[in-house]
Chains A and B, each alone.
Chain A
Amino acid sequence: MASNKRKFGFWSVVGLIAISLFWVGLLSGNILWTSDTPPLQIIDDMDNQPKVKGQSPSSFFADGKATRDPLEYTVPRNGTKYNVSLDDANTKNINTVPVTAEVLARGKNRFETMCTPCHNHDGKGNGLVVQKGFANPPSLVRPEAVAYTDGKFFHVMSAGQNIMSSYADKLSELDRWCVVHYIRVLQNGGTHPKVSAKSMNTDNQTTAQAGTAKAASAQ
């Protein structure tokens, strides 16, 4: 028969090797190509349901947003809209968050996430974003800043100051107070000034000291 007489030529060997390599690559989970077209779906098993999803577009509303903007004067369910002027910041913003190990750890985490791009890890400024052309913020550990009240720091975080914009949407009120506590740790060289005060009970004191020690050693 004709098919039996056919011999493997050069190109069929090359083709076989190519096909094997393709399958080996594919099955070993390597990305062989990237694509701009959305993934292929043969059977749409209720994968795409006609419902409103977060941040998805909508043809119903004129502005095309499925997620509606909150109305004016809307307050968050577990907080208040920050509405304190700079003059009242020192007296109206009262820090009632106790200094505990968790609070300091949270403050450190939020500071490292939200503040270090400009203020740097030590609070002295010249962060990596500043090196790219942002205005260098004044040091958080300079004597004037040490003299600031907690309320003043809270105000700057909530309302912004100069070129720094408000971080009220990124940091909850509790988180902002945690960051204030952590700034005090930075200013005091690794420990919170209130930790050694006699007003704190011993139980809180030990946990807070453990927290600051940990926060300092992790830096």
Chain B
Amino acid sequence: MFTAKTNQKTKNTILAGLALLGVVSIISYFGFDNAVTDVGYRPEQPIPFSHKLHAGELQIKCMYCHTSVEKSKHSTVPATSTCMNCHIAVKAESPKIAKIKESWETGKPLEWRKVHKLPDYVNFSHARHIRARVDCASCHGEVEKMGVVTQMKPLSMGWCLDCHRDPQANVIPAREISGIFTGLDSYDETAKKIKNEAPSRGEGKWISMRDCAIEGAGVYEHEVGKASVAGLIMPKKLALGPENCGACHY
């Protein structure tokens, strides 16, 4: 019915279409993963602040500046007065400090750019994770080695669950540089405990939401270490991260 030439043309068109579809689906499946789109985000900040110098070289702990991290959901960017604790004397005349000084004197905040952004429907609490002795580097990478802070982890839901399901393999235990309070254990002991004694469920086996709902398997009551003095911030006992929807979503 059709000529050989037309047949060939149709065949070629279909093949080309399939190839195009393949490429498009590969790109849309892998290319729009958080690991591709979000990792590597490195905004330029109003001040060329170097974590590599402050935390890496000067060994100032993360929590010297980000104080609210163990009490609040937010790990706040420090107030300008925190910078001025040292920079009132150190490099006070440097042009790089001028902006901080101006902000300090006028009360106009510096407009830092947020690097690690979770979707707004995520109810993430820094305090919970810090009190569980999860190190900052678990989610932020080794910031003390970064000149400019870069997003190193995808911050996707699947990536969150990697740790919640298998903390032994994925969590970086509290390190000295972060200044996380580990209770009566030293940092080495904490690391050993998290790597060896943290509960591990299913060894990567997927547990369906139905199981969680029926047995309450995804719901954990974290026992907080009993403090001898009321109000003392104590680390939580080792446990798996929760997997029920309401634990992380509003």
| Contact surface of A with B, Cβ cutoff 8 Å | 1, 3, 23, 26-27, 29, 31-36, 38-42, 45-49, 51, 53-55, 57, 63-65, 78, 97-98, 100-103, 105-106, 109-110, 112-114, 116-117, 128-129, 132-135, 163, 165, 169-170, 172, 174, 178, 204, 207, 210-211, 214, 217-218
Contact = CB atoms under 8 A, between A and B. Distances in A.
A-B residue pairs, 7 tightest by C-beta: A113-B179, A49-B120, A34-B42, A100-B228, A47-B119, A54-B74, A39-B38
22 contacts: A23-B30, A26-B36, A31-B40, A34-B41, A34-B150, A36-B42, A39-B34, A48-B119, A48-B120, A54-B72, A55-B76, A102-B184, A102-B232, A105-B181, A113-B179, A133-B89, A133-B90, A134-B86, A165-B84, A169-B81, A211-B184, A214-B186
B179 A109 contact: yes
A103 B41 contact: no
Contacts of A40: 32, 37
Interface stretch (B57-65, B198-206, B208-216, B239-247): B57-65
Contacts of B183: 102, 105
B233 A106 contact: yes
B40 A33 contact: yes
Interface in B16-56: 30-32, 34-44
Nearest to A132: B90
B36 to A, nearest CB: 6
Nearest to A110: B181
B231 A134 contact: no
| Interface residue SS majority, chain B | loop
Interface of B: 8, 12, 30-32, 34-44, 57-61, 63-64, 67, 72-74, 76-77, 79, 81-82, 84-86, 88-91, 107-109, 111, 117, 119-121, 150, 152, 176, 179, 181-184, 186, 227-229, 231-234
A129 B57 CA distance: 10
A98 B228 contact: yes
Nearest to B92: A133
Given A46-B121, A47-B119, A103-B228, A29 B35 contact: yes
